[in-house]
Amino acid sequence: MKNLQLPTLSNKPTTAEPYPFLFFMGWIFGAIGSALWPLLIYGFITFYPKDMHADLMTGAFLVFYSAGFLMTAIPQFTGTYAVTRKEWIGIFFATLLTFSTVFLQYRLPFHILLTINLTLLFLFCARRLKDMTSIPPPSFVFAVTGILIAILSGLGVSLQELTGSFAVWGLIGRNFLYNGFQLTLILGVGLFLIPNLLGHPNCNPGSRPGRIPSQSLIITFIKQTPTPLWILLSLFVFSFLIEALTFIKDSSMIGRGLRVLIFIFVGFKSWQIYRLPKHRSYLSIGLWLSCWSLLTGLLLPLFFPYLEIHMKHLAYIGGYGLMTLMISTRVMLAHSGYDMILERKSRWLLGVVILVLLAATTRTIARWMPEVHYLNHLNYAACAWMLALVCWAMTFRKK
Protein backbone atom coordinates (compact mmCIF):
# COMPACT_ATOMS: atom_id res chain seq x y z
CA MET A 1 0.00 0.00 0.00
CA LYS A 2 3.03 2.32 0.05
CA ASN A 3 2.21 3.52 -3.47
CA LEU A 4 -1.04 5.02 -2.16
CA GLN A 5 0.59 7.52 0.21
CA LEU A 6 -0.05 11.20 -0.51
CA PRO A 7 3.20 13.04 -1.41
CA THR A 8 4.06 16.50 -0.11
CA LEU A 9 3.38 19.50 -2.36
CA SER A 10 6.14 19.98 -4.94
CA ASN A 11 6.51 20.18 -8.70
CA LYS A 12 9.26 17.55 -8.79
CA PRO A 13 8.63 14.08 -10.25
CA THR A 14 7.84 11.42 -7.67
CA THR A 15 8.59 7.70 -7.64
CA ALA A 16 5.03 6.95 -6.47
CA GLU A 17 3.24 5.85 -9.63
CA PRO A 18 -0.45 6.77 -9.90
CA TYR A 19 -1.80 3.46 -11.22
CA PRO A 20 -2.22 1.64 -7.84
CA PHE A 21 -4.37 4.43 -6.44
CA LEU A 22 -6.37 5.01 -9.64
CA PHE A 23 -6.90 1.28 -10.25
CA PHE A 24 -8.04 0.93 -6.63
CA MET A 25 -10.53 3.80 -6.99
CA GLY A 26 -11.71 2.47 -10.36
CA TRP A 27 -12.23 -0.91 -8.70
CA ILE A 28 -14.33 0.72 -5.95
CA PHE A 29 -16.44 2.65 -8.49
CA GLY A 30 -16.94 -0.54 -10.54
CA ALA A 31 -18.08 -2.48 -7.47
CA ILE A 32 -20.51 0.21 -6.30
CA GLY A 33 -21.87 0.79 -9.82
CA SER A 34 -22.89 -2.85 -10.14
CA ALA A 35 -23.99 -3.17 -6.50
CA LEU A 36 -26.77 -0.65 -7.19
CA TRP A 37 -28.96 -3.42 -8.63
CA PRO A 38 -28.82 -5.70 -5.56
CA LEU A 39 -29.35 -2.60 -3.40
CA LEU A 40 -32.49 -1.80 -5.41
CA ILE A 41 -33.85 -5.35 -5.36
CA TYR A 42 -33.37 -5.76 -1.61
CA GLY A 43 -34.87 -2.36 -0.79
CA PHE A 44 -31.77 -0.45 0.33
CA ILE A 45 -32.45 2.23 -2.31
CA THR A 46 -35.89 3.24 -3.58
CA PHE A 47 -35.05 5.00 -6.86
CA TYR A 48 -34.24 3.36 -10.22
CA PRO A 49 -30.45 3.85 -10.51
CA LYS A 50 -30.08 3.74 -14.31
CA ASP A 51 -28.25 7.08 -14.69
CA MET A 52 -26.16 6.56 -11.58
CA HIS A 53 -25.15 3.09 -12.80
CA ALA A 54 -24.12 4.46 -16.21
CA ASP A 55 -22.09 7.25 -14.60
CA LEU A 56 -20.25 4.96 -12.20
CA MET A 57 -19.42 2.29 -14.77
CA THR A 58 -18.56 4.33 -17.88
CA GLY A 59 -17.75 7.65 -16.22
CA ALA A 60 -15.80 6.36 -13.21
CA PHE A 61 -14.71 2.71 -13.41
CA LEU A 62 -13.51 2.94 -17.01
CA VAL A 63 -12.17 6.50 -16.73
CA PHE A 64 -10.08 5.93 -13.59
CA TYR A 65 -8.63 2.63 -14.79
CA SER A 66 -7.78 4.31 -18.11
CA ALA A 67 -6.23 7.28 -16.31
CA GLY A 68 -4.09 4.91 -14.25
CA PHE A 69 -2.83 3.24 -17.41
CA LEU A 70 -2.21 6.47 -19.34
CA MET A 71 -0.43 8.26 -16.50
CA THR A 72 1.89 5.27 -16.21
CA ALA A 73 2.46 4.70 -19.93
CA ILE A 74 2.65 8.25 -21.33
CA PRO A 75 5.94 9.18 -19.62
CA GLN A 76 7.46 6.05 -21.20
CA PHE A 77 5.96 6.77 -24.63
CA THR A 78 7.25 10.35 -24.59
CA GLY A 79 10.55 9.80 -22.79
CA THR A 80 9.57 12.28 -20.07
CA TYR A 81 9.08 12.38 -16.32
CA ALA A 82 6.66 10.61 -13.99
CA VAL A 83 3.76 12.27 -12.21
CA THR A 84 4.84 15.29 -10.18
CA ARG A 85 3.88 15.94 -6.59
CA LYS A 86 1.53 18.79 -7.53
CA GLU A 87 -0.16 16.51 -10.05
CA TRP A 88 -0.46 13.85 -7.36
CA ILE A 89 -2.24 16.33 -5.08
CA GLY A 90 -4.69 17.25 -7.85
CA ILE A 91 -5.37 13.62 -8.77
CA PHE A 92 -5.83 12.56 -5.17
CA PHE A 93 -8.35 15.22 -4.13
CA ALA A 94 -10.24 15.32 -7.44
CA THR A 95 -10.73 11.56 -7.21
CA LEU A 96 -11.89 11.64 -3.58
CA LEU A 97 -14.27 14.51 -4.31
CA THR A 98 -15.70 12.50 -7.21
CA PHE A 99 -16.20 9.58 -4.85
CA SER A 100 -18.19 11.84 -2.49
CA THR A 101 -20.86 12.27 -5.22
CA VAL A 102 -21.40 8.54 -5.79
CA PHE A 103 -24.89 8.27 -4.26
CA LEU A 104 -26.23 11.70 -5.20
CA GLN A 105 -29.36 11.40 -7.32
CA TYR A 106 -28.65 14.88 -8.69
CA ARG A 107 -25.81 14.07 -11.10
CA LEU A 108 -24.45 17.58 -11.82
CA PRO A 109 -21.70 17.47 -9.12
CA PHE A 110 -20.48 14.14 -10.48
CA HIS A 111 -20.32 15.42 -14.06
CA ILE A 112 -18.48 18.59 -13.01
CA LEU A 113 -15.91 16.61 -11.03
CA LEU A 114 -15.53 14.05 -13.81
CA THR A 115 -14.78 16.94 -16.18
CA ILE A 116 -12.16 18.22 -13.72
CA ASN A 117 -10.55 14.76 -13.58
CA LEU A 118 -10.45 14.58 -17.38
CA THR A 119 -8.94 18.08 -17.52
CA LEU A 120 -6.17 17.03 -15.11
CA LEU A 121 -5.51 13.99 -17.31
CA PHE A 122 -5.36 16.16 -20.44
CA LEU A 123 -2.94 18.61 -18.79
CA PHE A 124 -0.78 15.67 -17.71
CA CYS A 125 -0.62 14.48 -21.34
CA ALA A 126 -0.05 17.98 -22.72
CA ARG A 127 2.94 18.62 -20.45
CA ARG A 128 4.59 15.37 -21.54
CA LEU A 129 3.96 16.08 -25.21
CA LYS A 130 5.49 19.54 -24.76
CA ASP A 131 8.63 18.10 -23.13
CA MET A 132 8.84 14.78 -24.98
CA THR A 133 12.17 13.31 -26.05
CA SER A 134 10.59 10.27 -27.73
CA ILE A 135 7.92 10.21 -30.41
CA PRO A 136 4.91 8.16 -29.24
CA PRO A 137 3.04 5.78 -31.56
CA PRO A 138 1.05 7.65 -34.25
CA SER A 139 -2.29 6.30 -32.99
CA PHE A 140 -1.76 8.30 -29.80
CA VAL A 141 -3.58 11.19 -31.54
CA PHE A 142 -6.80 9.26 -30.86
CA ALA A 143 -6.21 9.24 -27.10
CA VAL A 144 -5.36 12.95 -26.85
CA THR A 145 -8.30 13.93 -29.08
CA GLY A 146 -10.63 11.65 -27.12
CA ILE A 147 -9.67 13.19 -23.77
CA LEU A 148 -10.17 16.71 -25.14
CA ILE A 149 -13.60 15.87 -26.61
CA ALA A 150 -14.56 14.12 -23.35
CA ILE A 151 -13.82 17.36 -21.48
CA LEU A 152 -16.05 19.30 -23.89
CA SER A 153 -18.69 16.58 -23.52
CA GLY A 154 -18.59 16.83 -19.74
CA LEU A 155 -19.00 20.60 -20.00
CA GLY A 156 -21.95 20.14 -22.37
CA VAL A 157 -23.70 17.68 -20.04
CA SER A 158 -23.04 19.89 -17.00
CA LEU A 159 -24.29 22.98 -18.82
CA GLN A 160 -27.53 21.27 -19.79
CA GLU A 161 -28.12 20.00 -16.25
CA LEU A 162 -27.34 23.41 -14.77
CA THR A 163 -29.50 25.52 -17.11
CA GLY A 164 -32.08 23.12 -18.50
CA SER A 165 -31.12 24.33 -21.99
CA PHE A 166 -28.51 23.31 -24.59
CA ALA A 167 -30.24 19.98 -25.14
CA VAL A 168 -28.24 19.19 -28.28
CA TRP A 169 -24.92 19.71 -26.48
CA GLY A 170 -26.11 17.52 -23.64
CA LEU A 171 -27.16 14.81 -26.10
CA ILE A 172 -23.84 14.83 -27.95
CA GLY A 173 -21.93 14.98 -24.66
CA ARG A 174 -23.70 12.01 -23.10
CA ASN A 175 -23.36 9.99 -26.28
CA PHE A 176 -19.62 10.58 -26.43
CA LEU A 177 -19.01 10.03 -22.70
CA TYR A 178 -20.96 6.74 -22.69
CA ASN A 179 -20.16 5.45 -26.18
CA GLY A 180 -17.12 7.28 -27.52
CA PHE A 181 -14.46 8.13 -24.98
CA GLN A 182 -13.35 4.57 -24.28
CA LEU A 183 -13.36 3.82 -27.99
CA THR A 184 -10.91 6.66 -28.65
CA LEU A 185 -8.59 5.29 -25.96
CA ILE A 186 -8.87 1.79 -27.40
CA LEU A 187 -7.99 3.15 -30.83
CA GLY A 188 -5.30 5.43 -29.42
CA VAL A 189 -3.48 2.85 -27.34
CA GLY A 190 -5.01 -0.41 -28.52
CA LEU A 191 -3.94 0.01 -32.15
CA PHE A 192 -0.40 -0.94 -31.12
CA LEU A 193 -0.87 -2.46 -27.64
CA ILE A 194 -3.57 -5.04 -28.39
CA PRO A 195 -1.73 -6.63 -31.36
CA ASN A 196 1.41 -6.82 -29.23
CA LEU A 197 -0.43 -8.53 -26.38
CA LEU A 198 -2.10 -10.92 -28.83
CA GLY A 199 1.29 -11.80 -30.37
CA HIS A 200 0.78 -10.00 -33.70
CA PRO A 201 2.89 -6.83 -33.22
CA ASN A 202 2.56 -4.16 -35.86
CA CYS A 203 4.62 -1.31 -34.36
CA ASN A 204 6.87 -0.47 -31.43
CA PRO A 205 5.99 2.33 -28.99
CA GLY A 206 8.22 5.36 -28.82
CA SER A 207 11.14 6.23 -31.09
CA ARG A 208 14.08 8.36 -29.95
CA PRO A 209 15.27 10.64 -32.77
CA GLY A 210 18.18 12.13 -30.82
CA ARG A 211 18.60 15.67 -29.52
CA ILE A 212 15.81 17.58 -31.25
CA PRO A 213 13.89 20.47 -29.62
CA SER A 214 10.61 19.26 -28.13
CA GLN A 215 8.65 21.75 -30.25
CA SER A 216 10.12 20.15 -33.37
CA LEU A 217 9.22 16.71 -31.99
CA ILE A 218 5.56 17.70 -31.77
CA ILE A 219 5.64 18.80 -35.40
CA THR A 220 7.48 15.59 -36.32
CA PHE A 221 4.88 13.54 -34.46
CA ILE A 222 2.03 15.25 -36.35
CA LYS A 223 3.81 14.84 -39.69
CA GLN A 224 4.65 11.18 -39.03
CA THR A 225 1.04 10.31 -38.22
CA PRO A 226 -0.16 8.54 -41.38
CA THR A 227 -2.95 10.15 -43.41
CA PRO A 228 -5.23 7.06 -43.01
CA LEU A 229 -5.12 7.57 -39.22
CA TRP A 230 -6.22 11.21 -39.57
CA ILE A 231 -9.05 10.08 -41.85
CA LEU A 232 -10.05 7.37 -39.38
CA LEU A 233 -10.03 9.89 -36.51
CA SER A 234 -12.08 12.41 -38.50
CA LEU A 235 -14.68 9.80 -39.45
CA PHE A 236 -14.89 8.61 -35.86
CA VAL A 237 -15.54 12.11 -34.47
CA PHE A 238 -17.90 12.88 -37.36
CA SER A 239 -20.00 9.81 -36.51
CA PHE A 240 -21.12 11.43 -33.23
CA LEU A 241 -22.06 14.66 -34.97
CA ILE A 242 -24.12 12.72 -37.51
CA GLU A 243 -26.04 10.99 -34.69
CA ALA A 244 -27.09 14.35 -33.30
CA LEU A 245 -28.52 15.56 -36.62
CA THR A 246 -32.08 14.45 -35.96
CA PHE A 247 -33.38 16.18 -39.11
CA ILE A 248 -31.51 13.58 -41.19
CA LYS A 249 -33.42 10.34 -41.63
CA ASP A 250 -31.76 7.41 -39.80
CA SER A 251 -28.93 9.71 -38.62
CA SER A 252 -28.44 7.64 -35.47
CA MET A 253 -28.09 4.44 -37.49
CA ILE A 254 -25.66 6.10 -39.91
CA GLY A 255 -23.43 7.40 -37.11
CA ARG A 256 -23.32 4.08 -35.26
CA GLY A 257 -22.86 2.16 -38.51
CA LEU A 258 -19.84 4.29 -39.36
CA ARG A 259 -18.22 3.46 -36.02
CA VAL A 260 -18.93 -0.23 -36.53
CA LEU A 261 -17.20 -0.12 -39.90
CA ILE A 262 -14.18 1.57 -38.30
CA PHE A 263 -13.95 -1.14 -35.66
CA ILE A 264 -14.42 -3.98 -38.10
CA PHE A 265 -11.53 -2.49 -40.08
CA VAL A 266 -9.36 -2.10 -36.95
CA GLY A 267 -10.31 -5.51 -35.56
CA PHE A 268 -9.32 -7.39 -38.68
CA LYS A 269 -6.57 -5.17 -40.08
CA SER A 270 -4.71 -4.21 -36.89
CA TRP A 271 -5.82 -6.56 -34.13
CA GLN A 272 -6.12 -9.58 -36.46
CA ILE A 273 -8.80 -11.07 -34.23
CA TYR A 274 -9.58 -13.65 -36.89
CA ARG A 275 -6.44 -15.37 -35.54
CA LEU A 276 -6.11 -16.86 -32.08
CA PRO A 277 -3.47 -15.24 -29.85
CA LYS A 278 0.00 -16.45 -30.74
CA HIS A 279 1.10 -16.93 -27.13
CA ARG A 280 -1.79 -18.55 -25.25
CA SER A 281 -2.43 -17.31 -21.72
CA TYR A 282 -5.47 -16.42 -19.67
CA LEU A 283 -4.67 -12.76 -20.32
CA SER A 284 -4.27 -13.02 -24.10
CA ILE A 285 -7.37 -15.22 -24.48
CA GLY A 286 -9.36 -12.83 -22.27
CA LEU A 287 -8.19 -9.87 -24.32
CA TRP A 288 -9.02 -11.65 -27.59
CA LEU A 289 -12.53 -12.47 -26.32
CA SER A 290 -12.98 -8.85 -25.21
CA CYS A 291 -12.19 -7.67 -28.76
CA TRP A 292 -14.88 -9.97 -30.16
CA SER A 293 -17.34 -8.90 -27.45
CA LEU A 294 -16.70 -5.27 -28.29
CA LEU A 295 -17.25 -5.70 -32.00
CA THR A 296 -20.33 -7.89 -31.44
CA GLY A 297 -21.81 -5.42 -28.96
CA LEU A 298 -21.38 -2.58 -31.43
CA LEU A 299 -22.70 -4.55 -34.40
CA LEU A 300 -25.85 -6.21 -33.04
CA PRO A 301 -27.76 -2.97 -32.19
CA LEU A 302 -27.68 -2.09 -35.89
CA PHE A 303 -29.83 -5.15 -36.61
CA PHE A 304 -31.90 -5.00 -33.40
CA PRO A 305 -32.26 -1.26 -32.62
CA TYR A 306 -35.17 -1.88 -30.26
CA LEU A 307 -32.80 -3.97 -28.12
CA GLU A 308 -29.94 -1.47 -28.31
CA ILE A 309 -29.27 -0.91 -24.62
CA HIS A 310 -29.29 -4.65 -23.88
CA MET A 311 -27.06 -5.57 -26.83
CA LYS A 312 -24.66 -2.78 -25.95
CA HIS A 313 -23.89 -4.46 -22.64
CA LEU A 314 -21.89 -7.01 -24.59
CA ALA A 315 -19.63 -4.10 -25.52
CA TYR A 316 -19.80 -2.42 -22.10
CA ILE A 317 -19.13 -5.50 -19.94
CA GLY A 318 -17.51 -8.09 -22.19
CA GLY A 319 -15.72 -5.48 -24.32
CA TYR A 320 -14.69 -2.41 -22.31
CA GLY A 321 -14.85 -4.11 -18.91
CA LEU A 322 -12.90 -7.26 -19.73
CA MET A 323 -10.39 -5.36 -21.91
CA THR A 324 -9.80 -2.86 -19.10
CA LEU A 325 -9.16 -5.60 -16.54
CA MET A 326 -6.84 -7.53 -18.87
CA ILE A 327 -4.72 -4.50 -19.81
CA SER A 328 -4.56 -3.31 -16.20
CA THR A 329 -3.41 -6.83 -15.30
CA ARG A 330 -0.43 -6.41 -17.64
CA VAL A 331 0.33 -3.03 -16.03
CA MET A 332 0.24 -4.56 -12.56
CA LEU A 333 2.45 -7.48 -13.56
CA ALA A 334 4.96 -5.30 -15.38
CA HIS A 335 5.28 -2.57 -12.74
CA SER A 336 4.61 -4.23 -9.37
CA GLY A 337 7.26 -6.92 -9.33
CA TYR A 338 4.99 -9.90 -10.02
CA ASP A 339 6.07 -12.91 -12.05
CA MET A 340 4.66 -12.62 -15.59
CA ILE A 341 3.84 -16.34 -15.40
CA LEU A 342 0.65 -15.29 -13.59
CA GLU A 343 -0.77 -14.45 -17.03
CA ARG A 344 -0.75 -18.19 -17.76
CA LYS A 345 -1.02 -19.77 -14.32
CA SER A 346 -3.35 -17.64 -12.17
CA ARG A 347 -6.71 -19.35 -11.68
CA TRP A 348 -7.97 -16.06 -10.26
CA LEU A 349 -7.32 -14.43 -13.63
CA LEU A 350 -9.18 -17.25 -15.37
CA GLY A 351 -12.05 -16.57 -12.98
CA VAL A 352 -12.06 -12.92 -14.06
CA VAL A 353 -12.47 -13.88 -17.72
CA ILE A 354 -15.23 -16.44 -17.07
CA LEU A 355 -17.21 -14.25 -14.66
CA VAL A 356 -17.05 -11.10 -16.81
CA LEU A 357 -18.30 -13.01 -19.85
CA LEU A 358 -21.02 -14.60 -17.69
CA ALA A 359 -22.06 -11.12 -16.48
CA ALA A 360 -22.13 -9.79 -20.07
CA THR A 361 -24.23 -12.73 -21.30
CA THR A 362 -26.64 -12.62 -18.35
CA ARG A 363 -27.19 -8.88 -18.72
CA THR A 364 -27.74 -9.15 -22.48
CA ILE A 365 -30.34 -11.92 -22.30
CA ALA A 366 -32.24 -10.22 -19.46
CA ARG A 367 -34.47 -8.59 -22.07
CA TRP A 368 -35.90 -12.00 -23.04
CA MET A 369 -36.80 -12.93 -19.48
CA PRO A 370 -40.36 -12.49 -18.15
CA GLU A 371 -40.79 -8.97 -16.79
CA VAL A 372 -41.11 -10.25 -13.26
CA HIS A 373 -37.60 -11.77 -13.52
CA TYR A 374 -35.92 -8.86 -15.33
CA LEU A 375 -34.47 -7.18 -12.26
CA ASN A 376 -33.32 -10.55 -10.94
CA HIS A 377 -31.20 -11.02 -14.07
CA LEU A 378 -29.69 -7.57 -13.59
CA ASN A 379 -28.88 -8.73 -10.07
CA TYR A 380 -27.27 -11.97 -11.34
CA ALA A 381 -25.17 -10.03 -13.85
CA ALA A 382 -24.13 -7.54 -11.16
CA CYS A 383 -23.12 -10.32 -8.78
CA ALA A 384 -21.06 -12.06 -11.49
CA TRP A 385 -19.32 -8.75 -12.25
CA MET A 386 -18.57 -8.10 -8.56
CA LEU A 387 -17.16 -11.61 -8.19
CA ALA A 388 -14.97 -10.92 -11.22
CA LEU A 389 -13.64 -7.80 -9.49
CA VAL A 390 -12.93 -9.88 -6.37
CA CYS A 391 -11.00 -12.39 -8.50
CA TRP A 392 -9.02 -9.57 -10.11
CA ALA A 393 -8.15 -8.19 -6.66
CA MET A 394 -7.15 -11.65 -5.45
CA THR A 395 -4.76 -11.98 -8.38
CA PHE A 396 -2.81 -9.11 -6.82
CA ARG A 397 -3.67 -9.66 -3.16
CA LYS A 398 -0.01 -9.27 -2.10
CA LYS A 399 -0.15 -5.62 -3.22
CA–CA separation, 209 and 348 (whole Å): 42
Rg (CA), the chain: 20
pLDDT along the chain (399 residues), means of 10: 43 71 95 95 90 92 94 90 91 94 92 95 92 88 93 93 85 88 90 88 56 69 87 92 74 88 92 90 95 94 87 93 94 82 89 96 88 86 96 83
In a shared domain, residues 280 and 316: no
Question: Which residues have C-beta within 8 Å of that of residue 95, sequence separation ≥ 6?
Answer: 21, 22, 25, 64, 117
Under 8 Å between Cβ of 73 and 189: yes
Alpha helices (H) along 245-341: 251-269, 282-303, 308-313, 322-335
In a shared domain, residues 314 and 346: yes
CA–CA separation, 83 and 121 (whole Å): 11
The domain boundary, picked from 230, 263, 295, lies at: 295
The domain boundary, picked from 295, 317, 342, lies at: 295
What pLDDT sits at residue 232? 93
What pLDDT sits at residue 299? 93
CA–CA separation, 20 and 57 (whole Å): 19
Dihedral of CA atoms 130, 131, 135, 141 in degrees, nearest 10, equals -30
What pLDDT sits at residue 246? 63
CA–CA separation, 170 and 175 (whole Å): 8
In a shared domain, residues 78 and 221: yes
What pLDDT sits at residue 148? 94
In a shared domain, residues 244 and 380: no
What pLDDT sits at residue 223? 83
In a shared domain, residues 320 and 225: no
Total domains present in the chain: 2
Integer CA distances (angstroms), 35 to 57, 128, 313, in order? 11, 37, 16
CA–CA separation, 84 and 124 (whole Å): 9
Coil, strand, or helix at residue 388? Answer: helix
What pLDDT sits at residue 9? 42
Under 8 Å between Cβ of 270 and 191: yes
- Domain carrying residue 345: 296-399
What pLDDT sits at residue 147? 94
In a shared domain, residues 269 and 314: no
- Beta-carbon count within 10 A of 306 CB: 9
The domain boundary, picked from 271, 295, 319, lies at: 295
Task: Evaluate if pTM is beyond 0.85.
Answer: yes
Longest alpha-carbon distance in the chain = 67
In a shared domain, residues 213 and 108: yes
pLDDT in tens, 58-70: 989 999 999 999 9
CA–CA separation, 266 and 269 (whole Å): 5
